């Protein structure tokens, strides 16, 4: 753990701590999923017998897990692929990416519920949306890295692995649209939002917005509307 980068380490610790707390509270009849799992927004106008939708759930659901196996699979993926992304992007950008993928997955899941299953009593939990975003980013940044699946001793390039996972999730979601307890479309949502964010960064659109902000602040300073001395910027914004 001492050798892990700080964001990856803290994500692992946060997920494990929340899972342990949830397991302990369940013995007293308290189920955190009812408050912090992602509830179906469109069902019964925010309230139902299972749980209510709250604005914080698109964030908190990422730290809830059904059981140890669920937790282990997600955290194993974070442990395997997260450090490479964090070293490549830095702590801040990697953390932003993780949460954008997770929140994006939640939005897609809510859209699926609202459009096709408005009356379904359901809750989504787990970091899988963010994890699938991490997988996509790894395949994008390190496309030729050989990866191995369990029981298959043949290496598969990372970009091929990402495509295979996406296709599997798409077909699995369509094949078991209303009867599966796996949020396949949330997984795809995490990949989609991850791809959009990577394209945003690589095309320099975020830098354009930062430069535009610098220009706007400079104009306000020239007009005497703002004190520029209190504004700090990163060298990349020049």
List, for residues 219-236, the tens digit of each pLDDT value.
556 655 544 444 444 444
Q: Which of 40, 104, 33 is nearest to 65 (CA)?
A: 33
- Per the domain annotation, does 200 fall within a domain? no
pLDDT at position 24 over 90: yes
- Count, residues in the chain: 238
Residues 213 and 181 in one domain: no
Let me know if residue 168 belongs to a domain.
yes
Residues 167 and 228 in one domain: no
pLDDT tens-digit readout, 125-168 = 999 999 999 999 999 999 999 988 777 778 889 999 899 888 88
- SS3 assignment, position 38: strand
Cα dist from 185 to 73, 162, 229, whole Å? 18, 15, 47
* CATH code of the domain in which 35 resides: 1.20.1540.10
Q: Same domain for 43 and 73?
A: yes
* pLDDT (0 to 100) of residue 180: 59
The answer to whether residue 197 sits within a structural domain is: no
Structural domain including 122 reads: 6-191
Percent of the chain with pLDDT over 90: 54
Q: Cα 202 vs. chain centroid, distance in angstroms?
A: 19
In a domain, 201, yes or no: no
- Of 103, 26, 19, 29, give the one whose Cα is nearest residue 69: 19
Element (H, E) at 20: helix 6-26
Same domain, 45 and 84: yes
Q: Is 1 inside any structural domain?
A: no
- What is the pTM for the complete model shown? 0.81
Asked whether residue 142 is assigned to any structural domain, the reply reads yes
Residue 171 belongs to some domain of the structure: yes
Same domain, 79 and 160: yes
In this structure, is residue 112 part of a structural domain? yes
Half-sphere exposure of 76 (CA within 13 A, CB side): 6
| Whether residue 138 is found in the same domain as residue 233 | no
The DSSP secondary structure of 119-179, one letter per residue, reads T---EE-SSHHHHHHHHHHHHHHSTT-EEEETTEEEEEEHHHHHHHHHHHHHHHHHHTTTT
């Amino acid at each position: 753990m001492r050798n892990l980068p700080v964001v990856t380490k803290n994500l692992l610790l946060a997920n494990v701590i929340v899972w342990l707390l949830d397991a302990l509270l369940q013995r007293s009849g308290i189920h955190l999923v009812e408050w912090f799992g992602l509830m179906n927004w469109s069902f019964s106008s925010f309230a139902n017998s299972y749980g209510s939708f709250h604005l914080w759930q698109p964030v908190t659901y990422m730290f809830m897990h059904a059981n140890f196996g669920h937790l282990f699979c997600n955290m194993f993926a974070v442990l395997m692929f997260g450090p490479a992304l964090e070293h490549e992007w830095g702590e801040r950008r990697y953390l932003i990416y993780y949460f954008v993928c997770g929140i994006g997955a939640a939005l897609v899941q809510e859209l699926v519920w609202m459009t096709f299953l408005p009356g379904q009593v359901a809750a989504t939990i787990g970091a899988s949306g963010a994890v699938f975003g991490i997988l996509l980013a790894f395949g994008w940044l390190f496309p030729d890295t050989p990866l191995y699946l369990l029981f298959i001793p043949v290496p598969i390039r990372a970009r091929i692995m990402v495509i295979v996972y996406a296709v599997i999730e798409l077909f699995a979601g369509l094949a078991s649209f209303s009867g599966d307890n796996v949020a396949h479309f949330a997984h795809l949502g995490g990949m989609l939002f991850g791809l959009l964010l990577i394209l945003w960064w690589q095309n320099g659109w975020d830098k354009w917005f930062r430069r535009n902000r610098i220009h706007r602040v400079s104009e306000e300073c020239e007009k005497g509307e703002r004190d520029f001395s209190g504004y700090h910027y990163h060298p990349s914004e020049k």
